[in-house]
A and B are shown apart, each in its own frame.
Chain A
Amino acid sequence: MRKLVLGTLVILIVLFAAACASTPAAPSTAQQPAQSAAQQPAQNAAQAPAQNAAQPAAKAGAEKTVTIGFTTSQTGSANLESGRQTNGFKMWMDEINSKGGLKLADGTVLKFTSKSYDDESKKDRVQELYTKLINDDKADFLISPYSSGLADAVAVVAEQNGKIMITAGAASDSTHQQGYTLVYQTYTPASRYLTGAIDLLAKLDPNAKKIAIIHEKDKFSTDVVNAAAKYAQDKGYTVMINEGYDTGTADFSAFINKVPADADAIIGGGHFADGETFAKQLAEKNTKAKFISLLVAPPEPKFSEIGAAAQGIVGPSQWEPTVKYSADAAKAANMEWYGPSVADFVNAYKTKYNEDPSYHAAGGYTAGLILQKALEKAGSTDKDKVKAALDSTAMMTMFGPLKFDTDKQHGLQTGHDMVYVQWQKGADGKLAKQVVWPEASKTASGVYPLR
């Protein structure tokens, strides 16, 4: 019997070793989180002594270290989006630190360090983690976790502890309708997420009038489709069905079967993993709809891995590498230009991470940029001064115009607008992402019907 037990143990160990050995060759997504997980402690460990060393110097008024706290989904359903956001933010921090820090008007030089944990994309984890970031890790400023649900859960913690938080990958309007005063939004809010897709549909086919909505039942996606449904109905569209699916759904056949055969358009979706699967299954079932617009997934470069199923799918994007924001555009709009140009950002990101930046990455970078500008303007790290500076933000960056509501929906992003992308087959037969809306920033005309 003992031999048998030993034998099975040996088999298990061999299997485990085989599994481990094969991971390095696994595709980049599986690898990425494991890598960043491994890097992080090392980085933090390296930064900690530096921070301690900087402390006495800060008293002298020469150099001060600012700790920025956030969580990232090293694991969990939002792993991809969150990872990109963190990449973007880290790039901002590395850039400013490598330039010798941020110099304030009084001569103080701010250096930045970050502290982060894995939130597993779970709402119940983040409140605890942000409390820890504030109390134990003494974070001076906070960046939100990725996704509206998580950011919303954290907003109350930030507010209660009197910490300023820039939300990066979070677009819910309702977070900013609860009287918070210290939470600032980078993204265009959910209420304006899919309304452009309706405008695009109207342009492509004035006769299309029937829309089916199938969306993830989370906070963000529900906010988006409710706003879009209302907008569509006001424009004379009929919403034939409006149904939500659970986060993490893998089988969409029940929903796809429910879409009436004469629906002109399907809009909805949720986040990357479910959106990609939904698009794939829509294609597998030969859906007849002539226009499909899904949230979050289509703008991700990885979306093209589903091949032909990606063709024609439209998606709202916060930002694309081809956007046309520039110092000249800022001048024309009578706004201040701040930060790197679009091209500089894209090239730096490509060099650092060896892939095209998605809007999640750009959003993470911009969250850092917003904080940088506010600190510079405030000339101090004092919370009230930084808050006043944030309230008066009005600038154009490579991410687009940025401005915050300072009234009833404090912190809501009011300056920034969406662009809409569509995966189109180019002359070389390869799928490429084109900006098709609004007219001013388009790189190609929309293809209709989609396939």
Chain B
Amino acid sequence: MPNQLLQSLVDGLLLGSVYGVAAMGLTLIWGVMRVINLTHGPLIVVGMFATYLLFTHLGLNPYLGLVLVAILGLLAGLAVYFIAVQRVINAPYLSSLLSTYAVSMILIGVGTFVFTSSPQNVDYTLGTWGLGALSVPGNRVVGAITAFIVAGLLYLFLNRTRPGKAIRAVANNRAAAELMGIPSNRILALSFGIGAMLAVVAGGVIATFFPFTVLSGSDYQLKSFVIGVLGGLGNPIGALVGGLLLGIVEGVVPMFMPVGWVPVLEFGLFIAALVFFPNGLFGARRR
């Protein structure tokens, strides 16, 4: 039993870090521009299929391919921003919610048309790595390392670079930032692009673990919401911790009760966080 518990904990943490990266994308966009990005799920799927196509057709290592996938994500995010978000950014929340929803339906529709909804696999395995009584699929370890690298880069970008600081300034107070000469429209576009990039990269990593279909996005989008709320919406680093927390719940809880109870507990936690910690368990900065 202790072995099984440790194994579940490790599995949960490895997977949770990747979910964390996906949630970072969602929560960054919310934090900067108060837009709930419903294209998040389909963008995760874009990452999955981009990785899949690069791997199956060009033979590109899926983890190296992530660099290309990330660039694609940035471009896709910019495109979504200029087409569907920019015009409604100052309208009530519902407008941007609906317009991103519309884009997500278009992406899913086109995806289903091109790829059908059959499951696909990135057939790339690094084997199983043993560590004492633990055995962990190599893909998961590399995926988790990738997740931490991405989170670290995002942290450095937001805190150490000029555009990163501008993003934080716009998130903090857009009017004041504009008065200081920050071109807020460009910064918003950049934030959306980076948010999309994170979703797409997470999708690319997940594709190396699990089979996926055009419709897989909604599951991961839902997880991103839960994680975002746990970590505090608008707090990207909190999202990583939220992801790890969700991973622990998903890994360890099934040891003690039927697996079917996991979503009940997850969403119970979600509501509890909303009621008792509306700024996330780690108290995101207040506006």
Contact = CB atoms under 8 A, between A and B. Distances in A.
Contacts of A246: 260
A254 B15 CA distance: 12
A369 interface: no
Contact of B83 (A5, A257, A276): A5
Contact of A74 (B82, B116, B216, B258): B116
Contacts of A29: 118
Interface in A241-284: 243-246, 250-251, 253-255, 257-258, 261, 273, 276-277, 281, 283-284
B8 A75 contact: no
B117 A22 contact: no
Per DSSP, chain A at the interface is: helix
B260 A244 contact: yes
Interface in B1-52: 3-4, 7-8, 11, 15, 49
B135 A286 contact: yes
A305 interface: yes
A281 B7 CA distance: 14
A26 B56 contact: yes
A285 B137 contact: yes
A258 B1 CA distance: 9
Interface stretch (A10-18, A360-368, A442-450): A10-18
B268 interface: no
Given A79-B118, A245-B259, A285-B137, A11 B53 contact: no
Given A8-B78, A11-B75, A253 B116 contact: no
A257 B11 contact: yes
Given A250-B216, A258-B4, A243 B258 contact: yes
B117 A284 contact: no
Contacts of B211: 250, 273, 276-277
Nearest to A277: B211
Interface string A403-426: 000000000000000000000000
A90 to B, nearest CB: 19
B57 A8 contact: no
B251 interface: yes
B262 interface: yes
B277 interface: no
A23 B82 contact: no
Contact of B254 (A5, A22, A254): A254
Nearest to A253: B11
Contacts of A245: 259
Given A8-B79, A25-B57, A34 B116 contact: yes
A26 B120 CA distance: 10
Which of A76, A246, A284 is most buried by chain B, counting CB atoms within 10 A of its CB? Answer: A284
Given A8-B79, A33-B118, A250-B212, A257 B255 contact: yes
Nearest to B54: A22
A41 to B, nearest CB: 15
Interface in B38-87: 49, 53, 56-57, 72, 75-76, 78-79, 82-83
Which of B49, B56, B112, B116 is most buried by chain A, counting CB atoms within 10 A of its CB? Answer: B116
Report the contact-size class of chain A (Cβ under 8 Å from the partner). 35 or more
A293 to B, nearest CB: 21
Which of A4, A29, A250 is most buried by chain B, counting CB atoms within 10 A of its CB? Answer: A250
Contact of A19 (B114, B117, B137): B114
A269 B116 CA distance: 24
B116 A30 contact: yes
B222 to A, nearest CB: 13
Interface string B200-214: 000000000111110
B195 to A, nearest CB: 16
Given A15-B76, A251-B210, 17 more contacts: A5-B82, A9-B79, A11-B79, A15-B72, A19-B49, A23-B114, A34-B116, A37-B116, A75-B118, A77-B117, A79-B118, A120-B117, A250-B209, A257-B4, A258-B4, A284-B128, A285-B137
25 contacts: A5-B82, A8-B79, A15-B72, A15-B76, A16-B110, A19-B49, A19-B53, A25-B57, A26-B115, A27-B56, A30-B118, A30-B120, A77-B119, A120-B117, A244-B260, A250-B211, A251-B209, A251-B210, A253-B8, A254-B254, A255-B254, A255-B259, A258-B254, A258-B255, A258-B259
Interface of B: 3-4, 7-8, 11, 15, 49, 53, 56-57, 72, 75-76, 78-79, 82-83, 110, 112, 114-121, 123, 125, 128, 130, 135, 137, 209-213, 216, 250-251, 254-255, 258-260, 262
